Amino acid sequence: MAQQTIGFVGVGRMGGRMGRRLLNAGYGLAIHDPSDAVAAPLVQAGAKRFPSAAAVASEAEIVLASLPTPPIVEAAALGPNGVAEGSRVKIFVDMSTTGATYAKRIAEGLAAKGIEAVDAPVSGGIAGAEKGTVAVMVASSDETFARLKPVLDQIGKVFHVGRQPGQGQTMKLLNNLLSATAMAISSEAVVMGVKAGLDPKMIIDVINSGSGRNTATQDKIPRCVIPRTFDFGFAIGLLNKDIRLCLQEADALGVPMVVGSAVRQLLSIATASEGADADMTELVKPVEEWAGVRVGG
């Protein structure tokens, strides 16, 4: 049986790790990324690099994408030299976070070319992409899901969350809203405790033994904030973008986001003060500055 080739557009921090897992599983890999430094490790591992998304989509029936922003995803799918111009592609799988509006628009544009668009965003960070433990939230027809699952099983734990374009994106935004909220409120709680004279490690130990534990107290704060490494691996600017998309979608659905709006405000402040490329765990820094204390270090 001939080796199946999978296309992959965008092989940066997340895409590169997911692409390597496909190579290790025995798939051929056709990649496109504008960065030589990003593409080189996969090429050395056996991937073939192509000059455009269209060229990748002329090599593979299934093309995955992992890209930073909704406009970049749309350009890669529908723009000049995009996936829509490929001669072989049948299924385009967007593993980025774009929000449902973009997912539906991309699906409509690709459908006109006879290409099925699938939104399948992932959650679990760089470590999860490396280990193959990310959650993959797929919105597609049953038939397409059955075809994609063996491929996506190499990347993480696969969930068929819906059949309509955009439902995978909605699921991802819900997850990131909760992740951001946990980080924001836990930062405020731990900074308050430190200001009151409590030891940050003790604060975390107690919270994690009680009802307040969450993803930030169990992982991000003890691993990235208290030792001051700030290396969780997800940029605060991207998280800010995700929460903005979530609030826009909530507004369109008529769902109030009182707490979510406050989280977005703190994220916007931290993005401005620390820079969009700062780690999401640096969300604690403006709270520390206002309080006049530092957590750990």
pLDDT of residue 48: 98
**Exposed e or buried b per residue across 226-259, where buried means at least 16 C-beta atoms within 10 angstroms of its C-beta:** beeebebbbbbbbbbbbbebbbebbeeeeeebee
154 Cβ neighbours under 8 A, 6+ residues apart = 21, 22, 24, 25, 27, 132
| Active-site residue set | 172
Q: Is 49 helix (H, G, I), strand (E, B) or coil?
A: strand
pLDDT of residue 2: 60
Q: pLDDT at position 3, please?
A: 81
Instruction: Report strand pairing: 62-65 vs 116-119.
Output: unpaired
DSSP 210: S
Q: In order of start, what are the domains of the chain with their CATH numbers?
A: 5-165 (3.40.50.720), 170-291 (1.10.1040.10)
What is d(CA 223, CA 273) in angstroms, rounded to the nearest whole number?
22
Q: Count CB-CB contacts under 10 A for residue 2.
A: 5
Structure tokens at 81: 């030299």
For residue 115, what pLDDT is reported?
98
Residues of the chain with pLDDT under 70: 1-2
- The C-alpha atoms of residue 99 and residue 72 are separated, in whole angstroms, by 13
Letter for the amino acid at 293? V
d(CA 225, CA 270): 15
